[in-house]
Amino acid sequence: MCGIVGYTGPQQAGKILLEGLHLLEYRGYDSAGIAVLKDDKLKVIKKEGKVARLEEQLKKEDSLGNCGIAHTRWATHGKPSDANAHPHTGCDSDFAVIHNGIIENYAELKARLQKNGHYFTSETDTEVIAHMVEEAYQGDLYVAVRSVAQQLVGAYAIAVVSIHEPDKIVAVRQETPLLIGLGNKEKILASDPSALVKYTKKYWRLENGEMAVITPESAEAFVIASGEKIDKKIQEIDWDIDEAQRSGFDHYMRKEIDEQPEVIENTLRGRFAKDGTISLPEFDDVAETLRQARKINIVACGTSYHAGLVGKYLLENLCSIPVEADIASEFRYRNPLMGDKDVVLVISQSGETADTLAAVRLAKQKGVPVIGIVNVVNSSIAAECDAVTYLHAGPEIGVASTKAYVSQLVLLMLMALYLAQLRNVEFDASEIVADIPKLSGYASELLQQEQKIIQVAELMKNKGNCFFIGRLLDYAVVLEGALKLKEISYIHAEAKAAGELKHGALALVEDGTPIVTAVTQDSIRDKMHSSIMEVKARGGSIILVTDKPEQAQDIADTLIPIPKVSSYLSPILSIIPLQLLSYHAAVLRGNNPDRPRNLAKSVTVE
């Protein structure tokens, strides 16, 4: 859940590491720190708070040097503080360590080290690694780090530097992501490619149980357990640094909302033909399994889970296949009953979410095939699925997921059509097939309604509490709308299936309570209108997203019209005004939507 970066080469390490921290800050912003080697000395500078605070400090101190490591922290063990910030050193400051993950056996290791006379200055699990390396070092940093890694239990991406081998970084990986950028006479390591791409597009992705030793001139990879050298495959980043930056928008989230028309096109490209034929060759190897599948279990977290709820509805209704949708952290512990001919479908933007990854492993342990919908290519989840299809949504930096969600919905629709074709399920797909090519243009039109949505956000910005209601696919959408609002604006937002309101939550509706609702499903439109009247009668102020505004004039206090498409596709459009609403409510309340408190982009711990 933290971001790590390391550099060794001819340039000023401090500058490159700082740039990397800014790019990785979405992974955690409780503290940031840097360790740079110069003249046989290790300079460690670290600060609680955002990278900007560290940057201020660096202006006051000398952090020159050509090799170093840096870290931006999302706290697990120990509160956010200067002392708990990484890098951590041993007793003598000869070694510095950064770490993303959790060392599960740290208490036991710490007790042993304390008995041997080591003193600790932080509450972190990471500090044990620095002391262990210090104890193990006998003239070869690789040997010392390898022996330490063999004693660690848990999840980790670690990088270590030492004054004894001043241009070398040794890195190990177990469970959390770590990439090694292979520049010409310089090497850079990072948790994700955005921190590499300015310097090199060529990289290795370390796998579980692997480690690397880098110097400006060389990079070597080894299996931790055996010490055997690995001939790693070089991979190429196929996007540019500009794509990972804000392109003039105030926030990544707003930029990513704006990219959605293009993302819809990118997700469809090469997969959807105008006659409705779907091409997903990445599933060729599992096509027979999918054709015969008896049940699909969709597993994901957060926004990806909400996409999964839409997927459940599409797959059940269009492919006549039973689908369960599970939150990954529940799935992995609830002992799910899965039998012969079940398939697990995991959905993840980052491809690194720990609970989703655990669900993949559980399913595979039970002999159940796992397919994935993932955004980040070569991520851990992608690597462990039997087959994976990628969103092609580009890097999503804002913590609040927007374009990845829309892309997930598009891809789930394609999967539903693909499965229906594979399983010879006949239904009239003509409306869906005719509407799919219009989605991108309609999404652009919706972005034009921003001024109106800012007015709604103005009305909501001082509210402490609101409800989101919907039915069927609209219920799935309002769950996501409520999550967006609460995570970045900090307004309490509760999503309810509209028919369920009167079973309890209605008691909380009073004069002026905002009720955000989506009404796009023809089969229950009248019932939805009745539910809205019930809350309106109790004083609720109705903000209504609908594809038939002419039928809702008298019901809504604020009407947000969206283009009319097949009700199966409407979530792809109806979420867009809700994303804008959350964004503007957050900004009006003075929050930074890209960095919501207590949250991180990639949840790589349980």
Point out the residues that are catalytic: 2, 601
Please compute, for residue 15, the number of CA atoms within 13 A of its CA located in the half-sphere on the CB side.
Answer: 8
Cα–Cα distance between 466 and 495 in angstroms, integer?
9
Q: Does 541 bind ligand M6R (CB under 6 A)?
A: no
Question: What would the x/- binding string for ligand M6R be over residues 389 to 428, using CB under 6 A?
Answer: ----------xxx---------------------------
Shortest Cβ 582–ligand M6R spacing (Å): 9
Using the minimum distance from each CB to ligand M6R, give the nearer residue, 85 or 373: 373
Q: Does 326 bind ligand M6R (CB under 6 A)?
A: no
Using the minimum distance from each CB to ligand M6R, give the nearer residue, 19 or 487: 487
Shortest Cβ 413–ligand M6R spacing (Å): 18
Shortest Cβ 479–ligand M6R spacing (Å): 11
**Binding to ligand M6R, residues 334-393 (CB under 6 A):** 348-350, 353, 356
Using the minimum distance from each CB to ligand M6R, give the nearer residue, 261 or 372: 372
Which pair of structure tokens corresponds to residue 310? Answer: 């839409």
Q: Which of 210, 384, 487, 594 binds ligand M6R (CB under 6 A)?
A: 487
Q: Does 301 bind ligand M6R (CB under 6 A)?
A: yes
Cα–Cα distance between 554 and 215 in angstroms, integer?
70
Q: Does 481 bind ligand M6R (CB under 6 A)?
A: no
Q: Does 302 bind ligand M6R (CB under 6 A)?
A: yes
Q: Which residues contact 170 (CB under 8 A, 6 or more apart)?
A: 141, 142, 145, 159, 160, 161, 211, 212, 213
Interacting span for ligand M6R (CB under 6 A) from 116-124, 301-309, 435-443, 501-509: 301-309
Using the minimum distance from each CB to ligand M6R, give the nearer residue, 268 or 301: 301
DSSP-assigned letters across all residues of 172-210: EEESS--EEEE-SS-EEEESSGGGTTTT-SEEEEPPTTE
Q: Does 546 bind ligand M6R (CB under 6 A)?
A: no
Using the minimum distance from each CB to ligand M6R, give the nearer residue, 176 or 350: 350
Q: Residues touching ligand M6R: how many (CB under 6 A)?
A: 14
Contact assessment for residue 199 and residue 16, using Cβ atoms and an 8 Å cutoff: yes
What residues are paired with 174 via a beta bridge?
A: 156
Interacting span for ligand M6R (CB under 6 A) from 131-139, 255-263, 297-305, 495-503: 297-305
Shortest Cβ 606–ligand M6R spacing (Å): 12
Interacting span for ligand M6R (CB under 6 A) from 4-12, 211-219, 299-307, 586-594: 299-307
Phi and psi at 13, nearest 5°, equal: -60, -40
State the amino acid at position 143 in one-letter form.
Answer: V
Contact assessment for residue 356 and residue 301, using Cβ atoms and an 8 Å cutoff: yes
Shortest Cβ 260–ligand M6R spacing (Å): 14
Which pair of structure tokens corresponds to residue 20? Answer: 């990397």
Q: Based on C-alpha coordinates, what's the Rg of the chain?
A: 25
Which pair of structure tokens corresponds to residue 374? Answer: 């993932």
Phi and psi at 103, nearest 5°, equal: -95, 105
Using the minimum distance from each CB to ligand M6R, give the nearer residue, 33 or 398: 398
Look at residue 335 and give its three-state secondary structure: coil
For 461-485, letters b (16+ CB in 10 Å) and e give bebeebbbbbbbbbbbbbbbbbbbb
Q: Which of 89, 303, 489, 604 binds ligand M6R (CB under 6 A)?
A: 303
- Asked if the peptide bond before residue 87 counts as cis, ω within 30 degrees of 0, the response is yes
Using the minimum distance from each CB to ligand M6R, give the nearer residue, 191 or 303: 303
Question: What would the x/- binding string for ligand M6R be over residues 130 to 159, using CB under 6 A?
Answer: ------------------------------
Using the minimum distance from each CB to ligand M6R, give the nearer residue, 149 or 376: 376
Q: Which of 149, 603, 604, 605 binds ligand M6R (CB under 6 A)?
A: 603
How many H-runs (helices) and E-runs (strands) does the chain carry? 19, 25
Contact assessment for residue 469 and residue 521, using Cβ atoms and an 8 Å cutoff: no
Q: Which residues make up the interface to ligand M6R (CB under 6 A)?
A: 301-304, 348-350, 353, 356, 399-401, 487, 603
